[in-house]
Amino acid sequence: MINIRRADERGHVNIGWLNSHHTFSFGHYYDPKHMGFGALRVINDDTVQPGMGFDTHGHQDMEIISYVLKGGLAHKDSIGTGSVILPGEVQRMTAGTGIRHSEFNDSDVNPAHFLQIWILPDTQGLEPGYEQKFFGDTRNGTLKLVASKDARGDSLKIHQDMDLYATVLNEGDKVTHSLKRNRDAWIQVADGSITLNGQPLDRGDGAAINNEDTLTIQATTDAEVLLFDMPSHSNA
């Protein structure tokens, strides 16, 4: 079964410096039908204006992934980490017992566009941590594992039984993914247009998947897609 969450159905806030679309309930946007999908709690599609960003704020007991699509995102946190996240790079931050950080557009000229993803950890009270890796063209034409519980394949380590794949496709490219028994998936179209098992999805669309054996993603334009593979759950 594939349940599509269209881009224009998402929560939306535009406060000038930040234009954000919320796939799941977040902040002032609340929808009891869309509180997350399994351990996947937040997918925010954020565009930050030049020189602007999120001032220092705190998180606890959450795995936070930043996936940059355009521009650069400058990150600083209370454990002494500072970096700029660029397209092709993925950052994982374990909030654990508590961490404070800021995120700003690294450019004074161009907007920054990124996805901020929150995943509920399988263990609370973890030591705060940070990891960032460049995947670049290893995502081209294939589903590249970028985050997993066991950090296999040089992926980022997340503290949850979830595999996060990323793919960058040219128009006409096709990739497939097999779901093991008792596994669900979420697809998020970061850019472009695809078909998912023949169903059309456009930029910003998401899809909850359960009771499917194989997922076939075909690009109908150049596209960038994330796939989350996770245990089946009651709210699928």
Helix (H, G, I), strand (E, B) or coil at 136: helix
| Two structure tokens written together for 176 | 């497939």
pLDDT tens, residue by residue, 173-189 = 999 999 999 999 999 99
Q: Model confidence at 156, in pLDDT bands (50, 70, 90)?
A: very high
Mean pLDDT of 214-232: 98
pLDDT of residue 79: 72
User: Among 55-59, 90-94, 99-103, 164-168, which is the least confidently predicted range?
Assistant: 55-59
Q: What residues does 70 pair with on adjacent strands?
A: 113
Amino acid identity of residue 236, one-letter, is A
With 0.85 as the threshold, say if the pTM is over it.
yes
Domain 2-231: top CATH class: mainly beta
pLDDT tens, residue by residue, 98-138 = 888 788 898 999 999 999 999 999 999 999 988 999 999 99
Domain boundaries, the chain: 2-231
Mean pLDDT of 30-50: 96
Q: Model confidence at 235, in pLDDT bands (50, 70, 90)?
A: very low
Residue 236: is it exposed, middle or buried by C-beta count within 10 angstroms (0-12/13-18/19+)? middle
Going by C-alpha positions, the residue among 138, 226, 222, 134 that lies closest to residue 177 is 226
Residue 18 has pLDDT above 60, yes or no: yes
**Helix, strand, coil proportions of the chain in percent (round to 5)?**
5, 55, 40
Strand arrangement, sheet containing 2-5: 2-5, 206-209, 183-191, 223-231, 163-169, 144-148, 156-157
Backbone angles phi, psi at 109, to 5 degrees: -120, -45
> β-strand 99-105 against 214-219: which pairing, if any?
unpaired
Mean pLDDT of 130-155: 96
Q: Model confidence at 236, in pLDDT bands (50, 70, 90)?
A: very low
How does the average pLDDT of the chain come out, rounded?
93
Residue 234 has pLDDT above 60, yes or no: no
